[in-house]
Amino acid sequence: MIEFLFYIFASVLIGSAAMVLFARHPVHAVLFLIVCFFNAGAIFILAGAEFLGMMLVIVYVGAVAVLFLFVVMMLDVDFAGLKADMMRQWPLGLLLGMVLLLEIGLIGWSSPAAFPEATGENTRAIGRVLYTEYFLPFQVSGLLLLVAMTGAIVLTLRHKPDVKRQQIGQQLKRDPKQTVILTNPKTGEGVG
């Protein structure tokens, strides 16, 4: 039963990965990427890594795929022109893939070893290890995310000339005596 489920998820994963690479429009490619990540999450759960499977769905589908979608929709790119000369090199690409697959297959070929029984307490176990033994890498990965966020903001920040910004120094130096005038206009005449 588990093996059957694995084959279903794996074939959908491979098929949608192919669609990611050869979809006509990048929006479709991103949607197939989401299908890929869902199936990979299901495969992780089959392997006993429930927490990681859920994390994959949250991080990839919730953050990375949405980021890709935003960028694909924001950029006005001539995708048809990019696609046109892609098919010219397919024999070499296929050869490259076949050679790589053969080599990976030669490395990975050994007698099948079945998985031991999963305990079903994956999340608790990961929490126990992650916050004790791997605490420093955990913190460093948080720092890495902070750096990535700051970098992405700084890279894409644009200073437009017509945007009004705060100028703290000048604003603090203003004297109310020079900028505010007290008048006492008469009725019906207004401020002269």
Partner 1 sequence: MNGALTIQHFLALSGLLFSMGVVGIYMNRRNIIVVLMAIELMLLAVNINFVGFAALHGNLEGQIFSFFILTVAAAEAAIGLAILVIYFRKRGSIDIDAASELKG
Which residues in the 15-74 window bind partner 1 by CB under 8 A?
A: 17-18, 20-22, 26, 29-30, 33, 36-37, 40, 43-44, 46-49, 51-52, 55-56, 59-60, 63-64, 67-68, 71-72, 74
Residue 171 CB, nearest distance to partner 1 (Å)? 31
Smaller CB separation from partner 1, 80 or 182: 80
User: What is the amino acid identity at position 79?
Assistant: F
Q: Is the dihedral of CA 63, 64, 70, 73 positive or negative?
A: negative
Residue nearer to partner 1 on the CB measure, 90 or 174: 90
Q: What distance in Å separates the CA atoms of residue 138 and residue 173, rounded to the nearest whole number?
A: 46
* Touching partner 1, residues 115-134 (CB under 8 A): 115-118, 120, 122, 125-126, 129-130, 134
8 sits near partner 1 (criterion: CB under 8 A): no
Phi-psi region of 50 (alpha: psi -120 to 50; beta: other; left: phi over 0): alpha
**CA distance linking residue 59 with residue 12, whole number of Å:** 20
Which listed residue (28, 137, 167, 177) binds partner 1 by CB under 8 A?
Answer: 137
Nearer to partner 1, 76 or 162 (CB): 76
Which of 80, 92, 136, 172 binds partner 1 (CB under 8 A)? It is: 92
CB of 166 to partner 1, least distance (A): 25
Footprint (CB under 8 A) of partner 1, residues 165-184: none
Which of 123-145 are b and which e, b meaning 16 or more Cβ less than 10 Å from the residue's Cβ?
Answer: eeebeeeeeeeeeeeeeeeeeee
Burial of 42 (0-12, 13-18, 19+ CB in 10 A): buried
